[in-house]
Amino acid sequence: MPELPEVETIARALAPGLVGRTILGVDAPDPTVLAGPRTRAAFAKIATGRTITAVTRRAKLLFVNLSPLPEAPDASPALLAFHLRMTGRFHIAKAAAPVPERARLLVRLSDDSTLVFSDLRRFGTARALFPEALAGWDFYASLGPEPWDMTPEAFDAALRRRGTRIKAALLDQTLIAGIGNIYADESLFAAGIHPETPCRAVAPKKREALLAAIQAVLARAIAAGGSTIRDYRTPDGVEGGFQNEFSVYGKAGEPCPACGRTLVSIKVAGRTSTFCPRCQK
């Protein structure tokens, strides 16, 4: 599933081809992609005629920000919100390009291009909404702070209140938003913390080190264009590069890059977690 670095990379790659274009129409070859307004007509009514002003990210969600309608400039702007789930992908198709077989949503633009959202496993969703509706979207409203918005004091306080294992806490999007299995494993290794350690048992200095590790690992992953394990590609069809920098994720049975001891894997919160039993006691 694309995590924060992958969605951030996608948002940055889409922006040059989308910002300033006006939406001329919307089609949903697979209408099950629609959430919120669950019909093509309802989705298109919100989106059509608006100009794209920005492409942004919140946690693992991608937002296409839209201007007010030209005939009502004092009215509300709007948003297209995409949850990529496991295999959601975007690309910008040029005029007259064939529609991809797995296309689920087509957003036709004023320069004769089309924003295509495709999704092999069909778990991804798209919704059109107004900003004031975000508070009523339970998933969005429950999201915790972005990693760079969380202070060491707030992170420490959040962990001190929890008896869950630290790996499970990092995967909890209500605690800190955008981290998935890859970046939880890499951050815990960088901070020297065993994934099964109860949150309350992590020393204050280690909690501070963990937040710094999360921020550093995510920044490195964004700089590398995210991580491609199987399906993830940028809108240009390019694989991410951070998988070449993994220290532990997916490397059970290999030597630890720090001490040479064999990396092992266990299940934490239903997810495979790889760690070094010497460096992460």
Dump pLDDT digits (tens) for 69-109.
Answer: 988 878 899 999 999 998 899 999 987 777 777 899 999 99
Q: Indicate which residue of 2, 147, 195, 235 is catalytic.
A: 2
Assign residue 163 the CATH number of its domain.
1.10.8.50
Q: Is the dihedral of CA 47, 50, 51, 57 positive or negative?
A: negative
3-state class (DSSP) for residue 212: helix
User: What Rg value do the Cα atoms of the chain yield, rounded?
Assistant: 20
Residues 181 and 264 in one domain: yes
Is 281 part of any domain?
A: no
Residues 122 and 181 in one domain: no
Residues 79 and 58 in one domain: yes
Range of the domain at 96: 4-141
Is 226 part of any domain?
A: yes
Dist CA 213 CA 183 (whole Å): 10
Whether 2 is a known active-site residue: answer: yes
Dist CA 49 CA 34 (whole Å): 19
Last residue of a domain, one of 141, 170, 187: 141
Q: Span 18-26, mean pLDDT?
A: 97
Q: According to the model, what pLDDT value does residue 271 have?
A: 93
**Per-residue exposure over 171-202, b if at least 16 CB sit within 10 Å of its own CB, e if not:** bbbebbbbbbbbbbbbbbbbbbbbbbbebeeb
Q: How many domains does the chain have?
A: 2
Q: Indicate which residue of 100, 271, 277, 278 is catalytic.
A: 271
Is 247 part of any domain?
A: yes
Residue 116 host element (H or E): strand 114-119
pLDDT in tens, 157-203: 999 988 899 999 999 999 999 999 999 999 999 999 999 999 999 99
Whether 205 is a known active-site residue: answer: no
Whether 271 is a known active-site residue: answer: yes
Assign residue 82 the CATH number of its domain.
3.20.190.10
Q: According to the model, what pLDDT value does residue 137 have?
A: 94
Is 146 part of any domain?
A: no
Residues 36 and 164 in one domain: no
Dist CA 156 CA 128 (whole Å): 36
Q: Indicate which residue of 3, 6, 8, 186 is catalytic.
A: 3
Dist CA 183 CA 249 (whole Å): 8
Distances (CA, A) of 279 to 2, 173, 213, 249: 28, 26, 15, 15
- The pLDDT-based confidence of 37 (bands split at 50, 70, 90) is low
Share of the chain above pLDDT 70, in %: 100
Q: According to the model, what pLDDT value does residue 113 have?
A: 95
Half-sphere exposure of 9 (CA within 13 A, CB side): 28
Q: Indicate which residue of 21, 57, 60, 127 is catalytic.
A: 60
- Which residue type occupies 234? T
Q: Span 244-270, mean pLDDT?
A: 97
Whether 3 is a known active-site residue: answer: yes
